[in-house]
Amino acid sequence: KKRRVVKFKKGKKPHFKEDAGVLGFAGVSNQFFATIISPENPYDAWVWGDRRAVQLPGIAGGGSGESIRLGMSLPEKKLTPGGDNKEALTFDVYIGPKNSRLLGQTGEKHDRDYAKVMNYGLFSPISKFLNWLLNGLFSKIFSKVSDSWGWGFSIVVLTIIIRGAMWPLQNKSTRAMKRMSKLQPEIKELREKYADDPNRQNQEMMKMYRDYGINPLGGCLPLLVQIPIFFGFYIMLQYAVELRQQPFLWVEDLALPDTVATLPFAIPFLGEGVNLLPIVMAVTMVLQMALTPKTGDKMQRRLFMMMPVIFFFFCYNFASALALYWTTSNIFAIVQMLITRRLPDPELKKKRGAAKKGFFQKLQERAEEAQKTQKAMRSRQMGGQGPKKPKKRGPRTGG
């Protein structure tokens, strides 16, 4: 059945009411906890909710905040006036952490899918798989190894498993980039030869890549594959109550930034806290980029230069578990590159016979053909539809 999720953002949707149809369960949740109410017998119901200001007790000097309330209608019951008949309504109430396994087990007892409360969104399959694997590593192995650092070790090993699965792709990409770096003299020569004709320059470069069997975007593939995993991990961590208040190394709480000091001033976009793990992550990422074979492709070089900055700002004030994942991934990639460097360099030789055209070569050729067709149509229009000259009239004769 369809699930309806309403997010109360600041200044938006202060109140809503709608027909929920046959109601299986309803609830409210924040980042780590949820309250769910489920009728024993589903019925047609209306649900509504609002957000209001509340006073927070127990805070020195008083405090205020906002709370979200959820309401649901009750089923209609007919009772005989003056009779002694009674109608009982039974509900199951869950108040607890947003733990996928616990929600699934509790929901199964009442034939409800409480796990839908985990709203992972677009990357749901990746986030669910990572959450399952992370919980499995902790429960089967690291809960028995370490009382305090078990979740941190689980994240490190999870990262190694992911990177190990990507080893063949990374190795193939590194070898392709090494082969591209050997073509730098030819690439430079083509750029000088066709400096005034960018289209011809691109055609010749693509032909050369095709002759040598090189994918010009091959170096970006491992990074592109990692991005969905990164966002899946990022979304999973938003609701990973398992990591709440769990320490690792100098990190006091893997669900929060690892602030080691506080500055007397705020840095734009970063704040006042000095978070060490994102800094280590950015440094290891720069080192990884330095070890990556250089290619003549400007787009790849710019992308590689931007990535450490982008991920540094992205991870700085987020859960330290995300920076731990990315730092471990960078260290793994550095070790892999050092191992790959010891291997013999790949040979650079042309393919025999007609090389099969790749996707990007075909795409570029189609774009060039469309451009040529457009130019030809314009030239025909210019040649066939010149400015019309006004017809000369003969001299008027009086009459």
pLDDT, tens digit, for every residue of 348-376? 666 655 445 555 555 556 666 666 676 66
Residue corresponding to tokens 């030819």: 186
| Separation between Cα atoms, residue 343 and residue 335, nearest integer Å | 13
| Separation between Cα atoms, residue 163 and residue 333, nearest integer Å | 8
| Separation between Cα atoms, residue 48 and residue 17, nearest integer Å | 4
Q: How far is CA 70 from CA 9, 16, 24, 49, 138, in A?
A: 15, 10, 15, 4, 35
Question: What are phi and psi for residue 38, nearest 5 degrees?
Answer: -135, 125
User: pLDDT tens digits for the chain (399 residues)?
Assistant: 555 665 555 555 556 667 777 777 888 887 788 888 888 888 888 887 777 777 666 655 556 666 777 788 888 777 777 667 777 788 888 888 888 888 888 888 778 878 778 878 788 888 888 888 888 888 888 887 777 888 889 999 998 998 888 787 777 777 777 777 777 777 777 777 777 777 777 777 777 777 766 666 655 666 677 778 878 888 888 788 888 888 998 988 888 888 888 888 888 888 888 889 999 988 998 888 877 766 555 666 677 777 788 888 888 888 888 889 889 988 988 888 888 777 666 666 666 554 455 555 555 566 666 666 766 676 666 655 555 555 555 555 444
Q: How far is CA 369 from CA 199, 201, 365, 383, in A?
A: 11, 15, 6, 21
Is residue 336 within 8 Å of 167, Cβ to Cβ?
Answer: yes
Select from 69, 74, 113 the least CA-distant residue to 91. 74
Amino acid identity, residue 134?
L
Buried b (16+ CB within 10 A) or exposed e, 46-74: ebebebeeeeeeeeeeeeeeeeeeeebee
Is residue 117 within 8 Å of 30, Cβ to Cβ?
Answer: no
pLDDT, tens digit, for every residue of 57-105? 665 555 666 677 778 888 877 777 766 777 778 888 888 888 888 888 8
| Separation between Cα atoms, residue 334 and residue 336, nearest integer Å | 5
Angle at 292 between CA 287 and CA 298, to 5 degrees: 110
| Separation between Cα atoms, residue 335 and residue 71, nearest integer Å | 55
**Tokens found for residue 250:** 């100098």
In the chain, where the domains are located? 1-55+63-74+87-119, 135-341
Angle at 93 between CA 124 and CA 8, to 5 degrees: 50
Residue 39 is classified by DSSP as: E
Q: Which residues pair with 304 in a beta bridge?
A: none
The H or E element containing residue 21 is strand 15-23
Is residue 164 within 8 Å of 339, Cβ to Cβ?
Answer: no
**Tokens found for residue 68:** 């979200």
